[in-house]
Amino acid sequence: MKTVKTLRFLLAMSALLSGAVVGVQAQTVLKIGYATSPTSHYGVGSTVFCEEIEKGTSGRYSCQQFPSSALGGEREMIESVQLGTLDLVNTSTGPLGNFVPETRIVDIPFLFRDYDHARKVMDGPIGQGLLDKMNQRGLVGMAWTENGFRHMTNNVRPIVQASDASGLKMRTMENRVHMEGYKTFGILPTPMAFPELFTALQQGTVDGQENPIPVILASKFSQVQKHLSLTNHVYSPAVLILSPAVWAKLSDADKAVFMAAAKSGSIAQRKKVNDDEANGIAILKNDGMMVVEQVNGQTFRDAVAPAYAQFATEFGADNIRAIQAVQ
pLDDT at 26 over 50: yes
Q: Which residues fall within 8 angstroms of residue 154, CB to CB, at 6 or more apart?
A: 168, 170, 207, 208, 209, 225, 226, 227
Percent of the chain with pLDDT over 90: 90
Q: Find out whether 200 and 144 touch, Cβ atoms under 8 Å.
A: no
Assigned domain for 237 exists:
yes
β-bridge mates for residue 29, sequence order? 62
Higher pLDDT, 25 or 320: 320
Assigned domain for 158 exists:
yes
pLDDT at 17 over 50: no
Enclosing domain of residue 159: 26-325
Instruction: Return the DSSP state at 295.
Output: -
| Distance from C-alpha of 147 to C-alpha of 7, rounded to nearest angstrom | 61
3-state secondary structure of 14: helix
| Distance from C-alpha of 276 to C-alpha of 199, rounded to nearest angstrom | 24
Q: How many CA atoms lie within 13 A of 324 on its CB side?
A: 12
Assigned domain for 86 exists:
yes
β-bridge mates for residue 189, sequence order? 170
Q: Global pTM?
A: 0.88
pLDDT at 18 over 80: no
The arithmetic mean of pLDDT across residues 224-251, rounded, is 97
Assigned domain for 280 exists:
yes
* Pairing label, strands 227-229, 290-292: parallel
Assigned domain for 105 exists:
yes
Q: Which residues fall within 8 angstroms of residue 133, CB to CB, at 6 or more apart?
A: 100, 102, 103, 141
> What domain count does the chain have?
1
Assigned domain for 203 exists:
yes
pLDDT at 97 over 70: yes
pLDDT in tens, 146-161: 999 999 999 999 999 9
What is the band of 22 on the pLDDT scale with cuts at 50, 70, 90?
Answer: very low
Assigned domain for 96 exists:
yes
Assigned domain for 235 exists:
yes
pLDDT at 1 over 90: no
Ranking 1-10, 85-94, 127-136 by mean pLDDT, the lowest is 1-10
Domain CATH for 174: 3.40.190.170
